[in-house]
Chains A and B, each alone.
Chain A
Amino acid sequence: MEQILANGVYLGSQYAMIALGLTLIFALMNVLNFAHGQMYVIGGFVTYTFYGQWGVPFVLALVMSCVTLAILGALIERYLFAPVIKGSAREESTMLLAAGIAFFLDALILIVFGEKQRGVPKIVDGVFNYDFRLIMPYDRILICILAILSIVAFIGLMQYTKTGRALRALAQDRTAAQLMGVNVDRYSMIGFALGAMLAGLVGGLLVTITGVNLGMGGPTSIKAFMMVMIGGAGVISGAIWGGIILGFMEAFGLAYLAQYGDITYLLIFISLMIFLAIRPQGLMGKPWG
């Protein structure tokens, strides 16, 4: 049981981080960013290049992932999403744009980083072993702690800074925020950049554990959408709970259902369908959006 709980905490913390950026962008701009997984992958590849290839210290490589994705996110918002949102009232326009960006980034990743699975040297050696009841490599423990700290820092930013307040105001009511003097265009760009930066951060963190390859983007986006659906679209705390719930469901399912074959995700999907039929707005979402 100790091992299952530890696996759940570890999976939950990384999933929550992946979902945070996605839900932030949705909350601010009502955009379903299908390219979120690809941004995560680019974050992983940037850390791989700086830390794994060029020998730059891991923390600095992580910063480079964040900076790269923040810039990429800002550019995507300014030159792609903002004009489309202004020019088209139809929501599917941004969805198609996001899907197009996902395909474009996939192709770009293939050209720049190649088709192979990539990995980096371990950042911490050794394995914590408690009487074979709880086994956890030290690097996973470190990444789990860093993920939790990042989530706490993000919540702090959203709660206690001027930028965070502006972003929350924008998420609650775009028109009211504008009337209160919030520069909507500027904070939309900052919010999108922040969401992309979170994807880059988690990609950079997890490349030390899972490695990275060009095919990870799509499945990562799907999982992130599942977490957001569980927690409630556009709600920060919902994304965190969605990630934690999915992480624990996976950990318990893989431990107790493995003998029956790969039915863990089958049951997760069935549970999700039943849950959404009962509560379509998710755990923390509001029925009116």
Chain B
Amino acid sequence: MQRRSLMKAALTAATLTAFGATAAFAENPVLKIGFVGVTSGPAAAWGISNQRSMEARANWINETGGYTIGDTTYDIEIVSFDDQKDPKRAIAGMEKMAQEGIHYVVGPNVDDGAAAVRPVAEANGIMYFPYAFPKSLYQAPASNAVLGMVANYQSGPAIYKYLMEEKGVKTVAFIAANESDPLSQRDGGVEAATTLGMEVVSSNVTYQVDTTDFTPVLTPIMRTRPDLLVLSGVSPANAPQLIRSARELGFEGVISTETAQDAGVLAEGAGDLANGFISVGGASTPELASPMMNEFVQRYTDMFGEYNDESNTKVYALEYILETLKADPSAITDVDAFQTTMDTFEAPNPYMNGDAKLRYVGMSSFGQKRQVAVPLVVNVYQDGQFETLFVAEVD
């Protein structure tokens, strides 16, 4: 009898909870935003930081009553798809977004995936925000892709110029994984360094993406004794091992990359050997982060147990989508309206101190505004955390 009563009570509670949850969720209409990116395998950290940034922000919005666009307040739902860094899967992911009637998608994370989904996105009226650098994605006649971060051909020259002027760097060596993204970033870096007058002493050493021991890979580069070692397009998983191997082989010059990294991963994987390592971040350092950024970090940490510094950049894409839709509510189902709004859109940047703005840029690089204005914050790693080296803007 007691057991039966207990079961009845449990069933009633479960029914009420489910009903209550549905009722709460059904208070506002739902606006679905997609994510197609890599959340498994060696590069999982890139996509997972994307996905979790979106989920943390969406959860925050829903918890505080929803997001008002025009006369309607929406709950935000993130629909995610793991493309496993495979272009075929990325296409399947974008098709799934189209089937669900989603018009705004964050991702993919890599060049070939972003290029592969372009026909699907343009045919189905989907604006997508890749973290991939090929200019053809953002130059006309391409219309629906918006670069979600600062490209290496924008950050690289700024970093090299700074190092030439401030550190007297004259020679540079590049190393890249044998994949499309790192290789194209390496080529862009070589071109930028050559244009600036640096001597490129090594640029053809590459490594398998699943390499775990970099000492044999780096040995030929160390013989060229460069002032600067650039880890082109390096993933957060490989960066600490490369830094550690280079330092252990006696390299005393500067090491840099144009991708975002995580201070905790560097601390664990390379320790003090990572001191002085230069990378690109978002509104990451204490002097730049606004109270809203700090709250985002706290909520992300509460939700997932640990923050990822890459989310300092990844936090922006969803905010841009929502703020642009707020500026023109008709764009919810009409990406042409979204594209028109992009040309004049401007809103306060809630994640940075000061008067920074959310706006679309890219005229210099792409001839049209197809890039979010994420601050180009160049960081240097020191004793377990990033410090701001300099801040620049992308036009």
Interface residues of A (CB under 8 A from B): 3-4, 7, 10-11, 14, 52, 106, 110, 114-122, 127, 129, 132, 135, 137, 140, 206, 209-211, 213-216, 218-220, 250-251, 254-255, 258-262, 265
Contact = CB atoms under 8 A, between A and B. Distances in A.
A14 B249 CA distance: 20
B213 A210 contact: yes
Interface of B: 39-45, 48-49, 178, 204-208, 210, 212-213, 215-217, 219-220, 236-238, 240-241, 248-250, 262, 264-265, 268-271, 305-306, 308
Contacts of B305: 114
User: Can you list the 3 inter-chain pairs with the closest CB atoms, starting with the nearest?
Assistant: A219-B210, A215-B42, A119-B269
Given A209-B213, A215-B40, A259 B271 contact: no
14 contacts: A11-B216, A110-B40, A114-B305, A115-B49, A116-B308, A119-B265, A121-B271, A122-B271, A127-B248, A135-B249, A137-B248, A210-B212, A214-B44, A258-B204
A250 B216 contact: yes
Contacts of A216: 42, 210, 212
Given A119-B240, A219-B210, A261-B204, A211 B269 contact: yes
Nearest to B40: A106
Nearest to B43: A215
A262 B178 contact: yes
B45 A11 contact: no
A116 B220 CA distance: 29
Contacts, number: 114
B266 to A, nearest CB: 9
Contacts of A132: 250
A117 B41 contact: no
A218 B308 CA distance: 24
Given A116-B45, A215-B42, A259 B216 contact: no
B44 to A, nearest CB: 4
Contacts of A209: 212-213
A135 B223 CA distance: 12
Contact of B44 (A11, A115, A120): A115
Contacts of A106: 40
Contacts of B41: 214-215, 218
Given A135-B250, A250-B216, A115 B48 contact: yes
Contacts of B40: 106, 110, 214-215
Given A117-B236, A215-B210, 14 more contacts: A14-B213, A115-B49, A117-B265, A117-B268, A118-B268, A122-B271, A209-B212, A215-B237, A216-B42, A250-B216, A254-B217, A255-B220, A258-B205, A258-B220
A116 B262 contact: yes
